Structure 1
Amino acid sequence: MAAGKTRIIATIVGARPQFIKLAAVNHVLRQRSGMTEVVIHTGQHYDDPMSAAFFRELDLPEPAINLGVSGGGHGRMTGRMLEAIEAALVEIKPAGVLVYGDTNSTLAGALAAAKLHLPVAHVEAGLRSFNKAMPEEINRRLADHCADLLFCPTRRAVDQLRSEGVVKGVHFTGDVMYDLARRFERPDPQVLRRLDAPAGGALVTLHRQENTDEPRRLAALAEALVALSRELPVFFPLHPRTRAALKRAGLFKALAAACRLAEPIGYIELQSVLRASRLVLTDSGGLQKEAYFARVPCVTLRDETEWPETLEGGANRVAGASPKRIRRAVKEALATRVRPKRRFGDGRAAERIVAWLEKSWRTP
């Protein structure tokens, strides 16, 4: 596969947020005649609404390789990915390996490449929540310290890496998700009708293990959302893990009676619902940023955030899982006018990333 002088870049993805980031960079890479991207999908997110649907709507080519690794505990999943990615990289012989974000797929890809002495580039480097109980925090820290090129979405991320003694190969590029978000200005009424998503309501997403796997915390969050539904219509697309957890905890029926529960929705659909909403409540790092870009106030259903830039001016409020704190944060958020500052670049992050890849990686 490594014929001629074309530089092959192996890109490792596996989860929905990575497909979105991949789209921004892939569209630029496809315009470069001297570079060929081989996308390896680990299979971490595998069903159509969480995977294939994103490739279709974001105009992404089908992955060249799908490893089909999903399920199981973190160690088992990451170990199986590591073994399978290593075998794929040995066959492909890329000039380098590109990883995104902070999932198990990110860590497995970075480790496999590093052990094969292949250069690693990490998109979204330098983020820290400082909560080591989060699997994502472990993944992002280790990926950063495996990487040769560290593409930082914010200046704060650059400073964080410097504080850890990492300065070589660090570049402030801006955020690739901002590149994509700039394409959207207004909600699409047809999308809202098709989804039966209320305009002027609250958009809710919830998927992190810390919220779904702790019954008391999940019950507190459900209580807060039912209370919110008495003030605003609530649109809640359910991650498969969240749906299963709510049913297991006996919370699903009460929540379904109060909120508009939906299947997972695509990226473009989410952008329309977001821009039609008065408020976002989420534990997603990506949606915190997207709300900021869209000037929609956000309440983060976690105890910390890796995106402190979004906290400026009250655009985002960290409320944890306490119904009382969430209620207070919602009240304050609804009274807030979000005025984003240019913390995430100028919308050309993908172009900068590809330029650095071209400059840094040569054919083996």
Structure 2
Amino acid sequence: MLVTIIAGARPNFMKIAPIIEAIQLASQEGRDISYRLVHTGQHYDKKMSGDFFEQLGIPEPDVNLEAGGGTQAEQTAAIMVRFEKELVSQRPDLVIVVGDVTSTMACAITAQKLSVPVAHVEAGIRSGDWSMPEEINRMVTDSISNYFFTTSEVANQNLLNAGVGLDRIFFVGNTMIDTLLKQQPNFRAPQFWDELGLKKKEYLVMTLHRPSNVDDPEQLARLLNVLEEGTEQLPVIFPVHPRTRNNMQKFGISTNYVKGVEPLGYLEFNYLVQHAKGVITDSGGITEETTVMGVPCMTLRTSTERPETCTIGTNELLGTDSEALRKALQVLFAGEWKEGGIPDLWDGKTASRIVQALLQLHQPQDVALV
């Protein structure tokens, strides 16, 4: 059984690393499974791509489609045209797409057009916010996938509500957490740790990149002002997305306690998160990592596709109101943040469950599954 695995953007890399490792292990044990890794090139600079391959031990891709740049439509088209040629020359038994980036949707469509089955890892998650490109990617990908590997019971129910048969849904857990637990012993302090005089649990970490938070100068200024005033003079370490940095410069926004730094590698960023007093973010994936590491997390969004990080984990959904952030910081500094727990099957064994399911699916129809 040959599977083609798609990776295109930074969030994908943490999700594919354990799947590749599990396939390699199964192959070494004599199981009939091998893989071909296709990097679409959606994220093409070293900080967003190359560093992650190196740090997570991901093998060099079999091919890089180099389809980065341009608008979302241009990028989608470039990926589809180039991936179609890849599938024609190297036809697999199955294509695995992960997450919800442009590459996920584009490659799923291309595979189905050529009658190659598609398995979606991290299927079924929904925010309900159609203004997010990721939500469109999720919905399109799930509407045409053959097999669905899910991270939560909520995702299972979303798929069932959409008419997906239970026999095609596999509740396996979260491959992001496989990577987190494996790499946790390797986390390392970033170079600026000593330079900024950082101490464990005496700083905050922030990531912001969504238009609702960073494109409006007044909104961005309000959020940063709350952090300047409400963190009891603790530093806020802010790996700045290039788009956010450009906006801050354009808007003439400067900060004191909020310390802007360059984007970080996986090991350095998660070292910061693990030892932070709290995290402020508008990302989805980070809320999963804070949940497993037991770190208080404040999400500056009105909806989330990962509700289990709020109902079970350490995350709170604040919306985009700066006053809600101020109140959440007061709760944090009062020592009253909720403790949280870890969702079912977020145990570091998700990839092995995925590979076992793939092997069972690939068995001849007359062979009974054990």
In the superposition, the TM-score normalised over structure 1's length comes to 0.90
Alignment correspondent of 1:58: 56
Point out where structure 2 has 5 or more consecutive residues left out of the alignment.
Answer: 365-370
Q: What is the CA–CA distance in structure 2 between the aligned matches of 1:101 and 1:128, rounded to whole Å?
A: 12
- 1:18 aligns with 12
Q: After TM superposition, give the deviation of residue 244 of structure 1 in Å.
A: 2.1
Which has the larger displacement, 115-124 or 325-334? Answer: 325-334
- SS at 1:62's partner residue? coil
Partners of 1:361 and 1:61 lie apart in 2 by: 25
66 and 328 in structure 1: CA distance in 2 versus 1, 3 angstrom threshold: same
Q: Distance in 2 between matches of 1:140 and 1:126?
A: 7
Query: How large is the Cα RMSD of the aligned pairs?
Result: 2.2
Deviation at 1:245, TM superposition (A): 2.5
Taking the TM superposition and a 5 Å limit, the aligned residue runs for 1:211-222 are 211-222=213-224
Cα–Cα, structure 1 residues 35 and 195, in superposed 2: closer, same or farther, change >3 Å? farther
Instruction: Say whether 1:275 aligns with 2:274.
Output: yes
Aligned residue number for residue 233 of structure 1: 235
The equivalent residue for 1:78 is 76
Give distance in 1, aligned partners of 2:73 and 2:295: 37
1:9 aligns with 2:11: no
Which residue pairs with 2:252 in the alignment? 250
Q: Is 1:47 paired with 2:45?
A: yes
Closer, same or farther: CA 233–353 of 1 in aligned 2, 3 Å? same
Label 1:192 to 1:28 Cα distance change in 2 as closer, same or farther (>3 A).
farther
Matched, 1:202 2:204: yes
Judged with a 3 Å threshold, the aligned counterparts in structure 2 of structure 1 residues 330 and 44 are, in CA distance, closer, same or farther, namely: same
Q: Which string of whole-angstrom CA distances, capped at 9 and with x for unpartnered residues, describes residues 128-152 of structure 1?
A: 0000111000001111111111000
Structure 1 unmatched ranges of 5 or more: 1-6
1:195 and 1:136 map into 2 onto residues whose CA distance is: 37
Amino acid at match of 1:211: N
Going from structure 1 to structure 2, the CA distance change for 1:297 and 1:361 (only over 3 Å counts) comes to: same
Q: Is the 8 A contact 2:312 2:342 kept in 1?
A: no
Confirm or deny: 8 A CA contact 1:228 1:327 kept in the other structure: yes
State how many pairs are aligned.
354
Residue correspondence of structure 1 range 1-364 to structure 2 within 5 A: 7-33=1-27, 34-167=32-165, 168-183=167-182, 184=184, 188=188, 193=193, 196=196, 198=198, 199-200=200-201, 201-251=203-253, 254-255=254-255, 257-312=256-311, 315-334=314-333, 335-361=336-362
What is the distance in 2 between the residues matched to 1:23 and 1:195?
A: 32
Contact 1:44/1:69 (8 A) holds in 2: yes
Q: Which runs of 4+ in 1 moved over 4 A?
A: 185-192, 194-197
Against the structure 1 CA distance between its residues 197 and 315, is the aligned structure 2 distance closer, same or farther, given a 3 Å change threshold?
farther
Using the TM superposition, give the Cα deviation of residue 295 of structure 1 relative to its aligned residue in structure 2, in angstroms. 0.4
Measure how far apart 1:194 and its partner are: 6.3
CA gap 1:240/1:126 in 2 versus in 1, 3 angstroms: same
With over 3 angstroms needed to count, the CA separation of the structure-2 counterparts of 1:12 and 1:215, relative to structure 1, is farther
